Structure 1
Amino acid sequence: MMLYTVKEVAGLAGVTVKTLHHYHKIRLLKPCEITDAGYRLYGAEELERLQQILFYRELDFSLSDIQKALEDQPGRLMCLTKQQELLIARRQRLDCLLKTIGESIALTKKGEVMEKSAMFQGLNADAWNTALAEQSQYLKDHYGYELPKVETEQAQEMNDSAAEAKQFMDFLAEALQAGWKGNDPRLQKKIQEHLAFLNDHGHSIDAQTFAAQARFFLEDDFHRGMLESQQLGLCYYLCIAAEMYAAANQ
């Protein structure tokens, strides 16, 4: 069996000798043999485990979480399959982030302001909490309400909701430009679909609540400004359409 010294393993894996010593110390990666002279030696099994560790590190797992993951998924194939799924999900998120950055650059060059909902496409939990910090502080200062922190497992749901919100507001903006009345059947159908999405994704909201929310956006300077930055008159248009929908669905 081919054995490798700690220095050779460090060179193969692109990590430092100090890192491998630390992994040994915390029992995350133990050498298969230690010579009488005190040299650590690693075999094929240890190299495979190191590969799995480094995959998890690329996914921002803490060392303690990696230890648990490897204990919960002892089979190499199972572990690699799970890592592949996580890496694909990360790639999709990064693709979304790159798209958002590209759109931001293009709009900035034109001197245009990006829609608020579009700014958040592809964000993770930390990025969402940073992005929502101003709104959360405003709500706390003016209404005594603070937005709950976005947890890691909620990030994708937030991204999906942001994409839906963008599509919905884009539709409203186009309807406003086209001169549709607030009770236009096409607009009312879109509101129905939007509420169905919200309810399907854990946001319990009926027509009356949605109308009250739209009225709040109109009467509150901060939220009215968010919508009006997309298109002048959009906040008022949303409120009228939502109240007409609520009146028709009592």
Structure 2
Amino acid sequence: MLYTVKEVAELAGVTIKTLHHYHKKGLLQPSKITNSGYRLYGRTELERLQQILFYRELDFSLNDIKKALEDEPSRLACLSKQQELLIARKQRLDCLLNTINESVVLSRKGAVMDKSSMFQGLNKEEWKDALSEQRQYLEDKYGYNIPEVEEDQVYSMNEQAMEAQQFIGCLKDALNSGRKANDVSIQELLKNHIAFLNSHGHNIDAKSFASQTRFFIDDDFHRSIFENQQIGLSYYLCIAADMYAASNQ
């Protein structure tokens, strides 16, 4: 059975203009074009459109979608890959939702979230204020000076703060649910977190990250940041990081 462009648009919940655009980009070719110029689509085209829309939901660009579809050897392989990506996105969104819910609860109680845990976008001066206590502490105890925040660093720092909050939120969920520190999901979480840090200018590997988490335990100031969010969190992170480093030597 063949469907007109209008029927396909209604089935898929997209506009006719979108289908024309996909055709123009070489993403979705009609099964046939009539002598009158009408585009007609069959089941194969509907299945391909489904895959395109799944990738759009994952924020893939049209060029990336085209490449992804060309690289996948079969529809099943493509669907399996999309399933994997959608599950990963759901996990990230669940973590973010838990963080937002926690913020709402704290706000209703009149409690104040630790500045280092906030993930809303800050400007240069707000970052300076947020880091002031940590800057003073590190200077007094270790003689280490945190560089001043530059205007061109603000966007990246906001991105890093948001990712860090999601990372910690996922760790808290795992700890509360009783997952072991060497659980596959936790090890994957660490892998992605370290990769994110490296993509934002931090030269860090599994071993150095594990060393950093041990510092968080040994240092009262930084340990309290984690423990104030969840008792045992700093130790859980350290154990998980050590296990990840041991398996990635």
Q: How many Å apart are 1:97 and its aligned residue? A: 1.4
SS where residue 45 of structure 1 aligns? helix
**1: distance between equivalents of 2:55 and 2:123?**
28
Within 2, Cα distance between the matches of 1:144 and 1:57? Answer: 33
Give the whole-Å Cα distance in 1 for the aligned partners of 2:75 and 2:212: 48
- Structure 2 residue runs of 5 or longer lacking an equivalent are 132-145, 175-193, 195-203, 230-249
Contact 1:118 1:163 in 2 (8 A): no
In the alignment, is the contact (CA less than 8 A) between 1:5 and 1:39 conserved in 2?
A: yes
CA distance 1:116–1:72, change in 2 (3 Å)? farther
Rg larger in structure? 1
- The aligned counterpart of 1:57 is 56
The Cα offsets for residues 182-234 of structure 1, whole Å up to 9 and x where unpaired, read as: xxxxxxxxxxxxxxx99736527479x949x969x79xxxxxxx95xx69xxx
Q: Which residue of 1 aligns with 2:30?
A: 31
RMSD of aligned residue pairs (Cα, Å):
4.4
Q: CA offsets per residue over residues 114-153 of structure 1, 9 Å max, x none?
A: 2345545xxxxxx8xx469754897653699958948x9x
The size of the alignment, in residue pairs, is 180
Q: Please, what TM-score do these two structures have when normalized by structure 2?
A: 0.57
Residues in 1 aligned to 2:23 and 2:69: alpha-carbon distance in whole angstroms: 15
Q: TM-score, normalised by structure 1?
A: 0.57
1:197-208 to 2 correspondences below 5 Å: 200=206, 203=209, 205=211
Asked if 1:87 corresponds to 2:93, the answer is no
Residue in 1 that maps onto 2:138: none
Partner in structure 2 of residue 234 of structure 1:
none
Tell me the SS of whatever aligns to 1:203.
Answer: helix
Change (3 A) 1:147 1:164: farther
Aligned to 1:43: 42
Q: Which runs of 5+ in 1 are unaligned?
A: 121-126, 168-196, 219-225, 232-250
Deviation at 1:91, TM superposition (A): 1.0
CA distance in 2, matches of 1:65, 1:47: 19
Q: 1:141 to 1:199 in 2, by over 3 A?
A: closer
Q: C-alpha offsets along residues 83-118 of structure 1, whole Å, 9 cap, x if unaligned?
A: 001111111111111111111111101110123455
Distance 1:147 1:204 in 2: 27
How far apart are residue 39 of structure 1 and its match?
0.1
- How far did residue 159 of structure 1 move? 3.9
1:141 equivalenced with 2:141 (yes/no): no
Q: Is the CA contact 2:3–2:42 (under 8 Å) kept in the aligned structure 1?
A: yes
1:18 matched residue in structure 2: 17
